[in-house]
Structure 1
Amino acid sequence: MKYGFYNAVLHDRSLDEAIKVAADLGLDGIEINSGGFLPPVHIPEIDEIIADPSVAKKYLARFEGTGVGIGGLNCNGNPLHPNPVIGSKHAGDVRRSIRAAAALGQTRVVTMSGLPGGEPGATHPNWIVNAWNSAALDVLDYQWEIAAAFWSDIDQLAKDNGVKVALELHPQNLVFNARDIRKLVDLTDATNIGVELDASHLFWQQADPIAVARELGPLIFHAAAKDIRINTKHARLNGVLDNGFRRLSPDEQRTNLGGDEWANEWPKDSSWDFVALGRGHDAQYWADFIQALDDIDANMWLNIEHEDVELAGLPGLEVAAAVLNEARQLAGRD
């Protein structure tokens, strides 16, 4: 296994500083954001890297002698968004990331499956959570047709570039569990589309990430070390499908997700929260997770993704890396 962190948590620092943080934490690499919901802060020359091998070589030289490498590219977004201002841009970022990965000698691009609208002419995505009625299945049929066409094309591009695309099983996407990724692969006959196993979103859906790893096996291409904590007091009243978010106003600090879409404020009485590694599941759990992944691919990257709002970026990474390093030792795969 190889261990790193997703760099978005250090977008306020330079790439060289982020590399030093990884080295100081005893990690092997950094997963570089390359577009999608977030700008490619640490790889702004991505187009030049694709076009000119000398630029790619210069970029890679920044990692030489540090003991830190590139642990994949990440362009999480919604490439199937019905608003072309968002959907076309994010789809372009997926294609660009695949080509950039090839130029940098990388074999993994992380993204999301995306979510279309519910019918022709829609302007907003439509997430069907529980398709108990026939109309909901009609929507899903329409969405899967769009997804199959897009991902068939991406699978061929990935194959041509020697890259595998790992989809995060993330709710508010068409593919968010083990059944869905198998359906996508079956519909497209994909060979280069699989999963980035982010444990956090499986936890709150009450799925078992280790069971998912064993079920999907070689369809797992990449993984994220990210934890959650269920807040039982609130979850027992509102469940985990909780929409108690607050819309942030333009004069508040907020994150643009493309077009005129913005991240909302997390509920104060949330049913669950993202927490630093170890604050939801102990080191022994993560050791078992490592073992399950290592049984699939001993060279797989497992990267910390930090979104614990109670801990700032670097302190959060330090907590997570300490737990991950302990888990590596417990797993006997260090």
Structure 2
Amino acid sequence: MKLGIYTAILHDRPLPEALDVIASLGLNAAEINAGGFLPPVHLPIDDILVSRAARDDYLGLFDEKGIELAGLNVNGNPLHPNPSIGPVHADDLRRTIRAAGVLGQTRVVTMSGLPGGEPGASVPNWVVNAWNSGSLDVLDYQWDEVAVPFWKEIDALAADNGVKVAIEMHPQNLVFNPPTLKRLVERTGGLNIGAEMDPSHLFWQGMDPVAAVRYLGPLLFHAAAKDVRINDNAAIYGVLDERFRRLGPDEERTNLGGDEYANAWPEDSAWDFVALGRGHDTSFWADFLAALAEIDPDIAVNIEHEDVSLGRIEGLEAAATVLKDAVKSLPVA
């Protein structure tokens, strides 16, 4: 099992220094962002696609640091109806799959995407409770007219490049839980698309990530290590919460494509992303890793740090400690 870090949290420093941080934490792998919502700060993707020397130099850096390159990440919304967002993210995904093939990588992490609710829409439409026939009409359009054709194309491209595309089951996407992941695979006939298991988004939706791992079985290609704490406020607000604040242009904010930006999190939140161990103890993470190992003993599990109460290194240190302690409790093969 490879234990590493998704290096987006370390975009404040060059890649060699980010790899030094990973090594200092006793971890051995790195997942690198290649586009989508975030720029490819740690990946000269254009150079790698056209230059064997650039590829060799890039891989040599990982060899020098004793860190394994374990996946490329291109999370975004490739089905977004806004032409300044969806097609850009879709092209980033295609380019990342090709780059993964060049680099000898077999795992590309992304999201399924979310279209608009009808032809000509300008914003995505996430149907979370299709109790009315109109919502089923929306889902029929999103799946049959948009998602299935796109993902058939991506599956074929992945096959051509020796890549498995691992889809993060993320809210505000068509694929947001294990059944919708299976639905995408079945309806596309895809042999090269499956799941990235990030338990954090399953936690707050009320799912059991260990049960989800076993449900998905061989459709699970890759994993993240990110925790969630459900707060007392959830008793009043529930976990579906729209009390976010729009950030202004004078505030630090993350562009998500076009004219879309990430919003400020509610101050009295129903739930929060937290460092490993702050939401679920080491025994859970040991069970989680054991379930992953039953499917693929060599699977990559990369820490994703989004605990805003902790600094970059502080949060990674906390998560790495829990993850390594969890590994120690696993039975020896």
TM-score of Structure 1 vs Structure 2, range by shorter chain? over 0.9
Are the counterparts in 2 of residues 291 and 333 from structure 1 also a CA contact under 8 Å? no
CA shift, 1:272, in A, is 0.2
Are the counterparts in 2 of residues 4 and 30 from structure 1 also a CA contact under 8 Å? yes
CA shift, 1:85, in A, is 0.7
Q: Which runs of 5+ in 1 are unaligned?
A: none
Read off the aligned partner of 2:64 and give its amino acid letter: G
What is the distance in 1 between the residues matched to 2:16 and 2:244?
36
Q: Could you tell which deviates more after superposition, 2-11 or 45-54?
A: 45-54
Instruction: Show CA shifts across 1:244-292 (max 9, x none).
Output: 1000111111110000000000000110000000000011110000000
Instruction: Show CA shifts across 1:10-39 (max 9, x none).
Output: 000110001001111111111000000000
CA shift, 1:125, in A, is 0.3
What is the distance in 1 between the residues matched to 2:330 and 2:121?
48
Are the counterparts in 2 of residues 118 and 139 from structure 1 also a CA contact under 8 Å? yes
Aligned CA RMSD, in angstroms, stands at: 0.9
Matches within 5 A, 1:1-334: 1-43=1-43, 45-145=44-144, 146-232=146-232, 234-332=233-331
Query: What is the SS of the residue equivalent to 1:229?
Result: strand
Instruction: Show CA shifts across 1:192-230 (max 9, x none).
Output: 000000000000000000000001100000000000000
Read off the aligned partner of 1:242 and give its amino acid letter: D
What is the distance in 2 between the residues matched to 1:111 and 1:91?
10
What is the distance in 2 between the residues matched to 1:203 and 1:167?
17
TM-score by length of 1: 0.98
What is the distance in 2 between the residues matched to 1:57 and 1:252?
39
Read off the aligned partner of 1:15 and give its amino acid letter: L
What is the distance in 1 between the residues matched to 2:237 and 2:48?
48
What is the distance in 1 between the residues matched to 2:96 and 2:69?
13
Query: What is the SS of the residue equivalent to 1:63?
Result: helix
Read off the aligned partner of 1:6 and give its amino acid letter: Y
CA shift, 1:67, in A, is 1.6
CA shift, 1:71, in A, is 1.2
Read off the aligned partner of 2:52 and give its amino acid letter: P
What is the distance in 1 between the residues matched to 2:56 and 2:332?
32
Query: What is the SS of the residue equivalent to 1:47?
Result: helix
Are the counterparts in 2 of residues 246 and 265 from structure 1 also a CA contact under 8 Å? yes
- 1:289–1:129 distance in 2 versus 1, CA, 3 Å: same
What is the distance in 2 between the residues matched to 1:55 and 1:13?
20
Query: What is the SS of the residue equivalent to 1:30?
Result: strand
What is the distance in 1 between the residues matched to 2:297 and 2:108?
18
What is the distance in 2 between the residues matched to 1:103 and 1:333?
35
Are the counterparts in 2 of residues 77 and 90 from structure 1 also a CA contact under 8 Å? yes
Are the counterparts in 2 of residues 195 and 222 from structure 1 also a CA contact under 8 Å? yes
What is the distance in 2 between the residues matched to 1:63 and 1:172?
34
Query: What is the SS of the residue equivalent to 1:19?
Result: helix
Are the counterparts in 2 of residues 283 and 324 from structure 1 also a CA contact under 8 Å? yes
Instruction: Show CA shifts across 1:92-142 (max 9, x none).
Output: 010111011111111000000000000000000000010000000000000
Query: What is the SS of the residue equivalent to 2:63?
Result: coil
Are the counterparts in 2 of residues 72 and 107 from structure 1 also a CA contact under 8 Å? yes
Matched residues, percent identical?
63
Instruction: Show CA shifts across 1:52-84 (max 9, x none).
Output: 222111111111132201110000000000011
Read off the aligned partner of 2:16 and give its amino acid letter: D
Read off the aligned partner of 2:120 and give its amino acid letter: G
CA shift, 1:333, in A, is 5.5
TM-score by length of 2: 0.99
